[in-house]
Structure 1
């Protein structure tokens, strides 16, 4: 079922030097339960597009519809993960995770139970009274994701969520985040510059052209075994085929 529709999105920036068009007539759809990645050359406006889709930024033209309504009317359905975990160092894991619930005055007993279940299910319940400085980078990202999931969003926007981690940690956290998102049956849209990351996590990869960015191609990603982890997918023969195709598309990004 179609969950999100991006229709004719364009974005222009104005300065003393004139007008710069970042995005031009962007169109695509996101189905319920899909994990989609957006790839494109550096500076093409990937994060700008993500911010427009999540309602954080107003486009110059076009609409983003959530189940047929403006995304602006459905901001409570959205969760956002940034490049950094933005955990408060003076708060414990528990205090960080419930922060959004406290701000929205939704910290009911039912909500506390759900948070405890999330921490338990994803290996963090023993660390609920620890501080962020006592956690590994991967654990911090899991805490940040659980903080987002505590508000029970239907769709997650991820802006290069693994970029602050070293390579080994990225591989491990990719598996963790994928498992959590799929277990919780969430729809996810991720911006990344990492082709391998996009292939291993996604059911579809959208490649943007150079600025002004358009959708150059949408590449469905399919592996015969649906139970493979992102790390296991990297060892599949089809992974290399997808990588070569996306590499070619990114290196010929004019339209």
Structure 2
């Protein structure tokens, strides 16, 4: 399987992290297993052939393009046939700021893009001549969405997320409240409306993602060292938390995770 990471248009970088292109041909009668890692980020996925992504859904209508909200569960997916996927990896507040949808309405859920905004994007992407044209179409579509919804103010939520990502993920909610000059209730409501998850849960997932990144490096530290580095109570706590957000243990991840798209990796059974 081949993977390509593409930066979005500069006007979109507050809302879009990157585009990921996944392409490959899986031999007839075979499948490839992928495992998701919880990252709490929403996204948009275009499938040239939905049957390759949903091989078990033989009768239900399968969308070519859909949105997904922040997710707190992991899953395995078996891909088959000819795979051509473009994934849009959004920033945490993008569902709210690009589509005007409250984060909690789409958390742990997916929806056909056409049910959110009537458009011809799916048809245009299918008729496009190649990846570059498809990325241009996605950039233009998302910029138009941004123009329509840019009145939504997500600055406080983005700042809180930045503190958690760049600093100590055990930072107290009280400190966040003080820095943002809002009450605990207001902070909870802000995260629920603009992301769909609580600040406490976001902090846990952010810490987990830092541990995933640490395990992904060839010079990986010991599990005990990673647990200590990211302020888990002990190694057992780290293993339990890792399994909650990945469905596997850190040791299994180290042995079986392969290449892939951001937090959606090839899994060597």
Q: TM-score, normalised by structure 2?
A: 0.27
Structure of greater relative contact order (alpha carbons < 8 Å, 6+ residues apart): 1
Q: TM-score, normalised by structure 1?
A: 0.28
Bigger proportion of residues as strand: 1
